[in-house]
Amino acid sequence: MTRRRVRYSDKDNGGIILRIMCAVVFCVSAFLYLFVYQQDVIALRLSRLFGGDGYYVPLVFSVFGVLACQVLQFVCLHVFRHEKPLCAVTYFPSLALLWLIAEFDVSDAGGWAVLLTLVLMPFVLMFMLGRHGFFMWQVRHVRTLSRRMWINVMFLSAGFILISCCSNYDDVMRFRLKAERMIYSGKYDKALGAGYYAADTDASLTMLRIYALSKSNRLGERLFGYSLSGGSSALLPDGKDVKFLLLDDALVYGYVGLDATEHHGFSALKHRFFKEKGCNGPLADYVLCGYLLDKNLEGFVKSLLACGIKDFSSLPRHYREALVLYCRTRSGHILTYKNEAMDADYADMQALGKKYMLSPEKRCSAVKDAYGRTYWYYYYYVN
């Protein structure tokens, strides 16, 4: 007996409204996925694909990406026009394409097999399920348009949650990508906002924050308000543990007056600083903060004196905090600095730490809540 095929009709159970609703939900969600969530990742992909010469306009790329996915859905719907598939299921190949736009590595030969598998699998599944009458369930048992809408929205939502969870990039990588793009555009405040409240960081993100803070003349004022890692090694890119994803190393080296072809790390900064017998500007801030990152207060004080600064009260906040700490913890110090307000804050922090002496975790948490954005917290509690 020949099976009777039921042709897809837009008039059945409000099919036109259902398709429009699915299209709107998918297009809006896909645009947000490309333009907001994956914008920085796509910039990295295109940069690597074109050897750093790719020109990326997020809005244009996102719009064309959504249109390509929508065209693929039309093709899928045409292929299964004789069945009654859930409208949302016809977007599965488009969801696969959406994920691949940001995650697929064209330089990976094995990735092409994954590409074909992810694109073809939804077609195979729909063909098999359609042949067994699975999609006829919605026609026989789900009569109302509202229930059909909710079912389709749930399928689409599950698909977007799945591709978002399958991202290959962690939060720190995304912070670095956003910071680099903002630095390239000269938007240093937005670069500094990347991961500001996050505890996770690495040496490369620390390097980006140091550069952006220096460019906005706030390095000594706000550096230790961020999560930091790597010590003075994070001041300059080394191509290994500290590196750019999109930008060139010469950006930082040229900024502090060093040759990017010869990397010598913090020692090169110190050598140039003392060779010029102290100086002001980016190089001085880099050297001073390098000593603070290594918790070398003696080196910090000697470099500070080499700058010829007479009025310590005009120094940035973290420099003054370091001076208070130096005078409080070192005997036979080579300078004297007093700041009643900061001395009182430092004493309060020490008293708070002693209050939780028997519980290191509670002590660290309590001090962080009250003094987590001071150099004192970094000196005592950050490894």
Q: What are the tens digits of pLDDT across the range 200-219? A: 999 999 999 999 999 999 99
Q: Judge whether 246 and 345 are in contact, CB under 8 Å.
A: no
Q: At what angle do helices 282-293 and 266-275 cross, to 10 degrees?
A: 130
What is the per-residue pLDDT for 8?
43
Give the span between the Cα atoms of 40 and 190, in whole angstroms: 13
What is the per-residue pLDDT for 7?
46
DSSP tag of 192: H
What is the per-residue pLDDT for 348?
95
CA 37, 159, 56, 169: dihedral to nearest 10 degrees?
A: 60
Task: For tokens 């645009």, name the residue.
Answer: 31
What is the per-residue pLDDT for 1?
46
3-state DSSP call for residue 122?
helix
Q: Judge whether 183 and 210 are in contact, CB under 8 Å.
A: no
Residues of the chain with pLDDT below 70 are: 1-15, 49-55, 80-86, 103-146, 167-169, 263, 277-278
How many CB atoms lie under 10 A from the CB of residue 170? 11
Give the span between the Cα atoms of 357 and 310, in whole angstroms: 39
Amino acid found at 290 = G
Give the span between the Cα atoms of 126 and 139, in whole angstroms: 16
Give the angle 275-279-280 at the CA atoms, nearest 5°: 155
3-state helix, strand, coil in the chain (%, to 5): 65, 0, 35
Neighbouring residues of 243: CB distance < 8 A, sequence distance ≥ 6: 204, 237, 249
